[in-house]
Amino acid sequence: MGYTRLTVTLQHGHGTLARLAATLNNHHVLGLAYTTSSPDSATAVVCVPRSVAPRAQHKLRRLVDVIDVSPDPAAGGTAEIPDPITFDPALRAADL
């Protein structure tokens, strides 16, 4: 089974990650990474099976916070999906 990596550029705000997760709820998501690069900008990388990629991309484009969605042409093979980023509960917001 191959996968497609979708890179999503978003306007970061209160509830953006929750809306992203709710949008992808009905799709088989293999991996999700969410990073903020500035107070109002974020990037999400979503890995989905090739068979659902067009539908997931369409649903993401309809999300109000989304600026752009682009499939990664280098992805899509049967290579192993990178490990997800994990949150260390011992890490405090002040340490960031």
Q: What is the mean pLDDT of the chain?
A: 81
What CATH number does the domain containing 29 carry? 3.30.70.260
Going by C-beta distance under 8 Å and a sequence separation of 6 or more, which residues neighbour residue 40?
A: 11, 12, 13
Contact present, 44 and 8 (Cβ < 8 Å): yes
94: in domain? no
11: in domain? yes
For the beta carbon of residue 72, count every other beta carbon within 10 angstroms: 13
Q: How many domains does the chain have?
A: 1
Instruction: Identify the band that residue 73 occupies on the pLDDT scale cut at 50, 70 and 90.
Output: low
Q: Which domain holds residue 27?
A: 3-76
Q: Is the pLDDT of residue 95 over 50?
A: no
Choose among 8, 5, 1, 90: nearest CA to 53: 5
Q: Is the pLDDT of residue 70 over 60?
A: yes
Contact present, 10 and 20 (Cβ < 8 Å): yes
Q: Is the pLDDT of residue 79 over 50?
A: no
Mean pLDDT along residues 15-25: 92
87: in domain? no
64: in domain? yes
54: in domain? yes
90: in domain? no
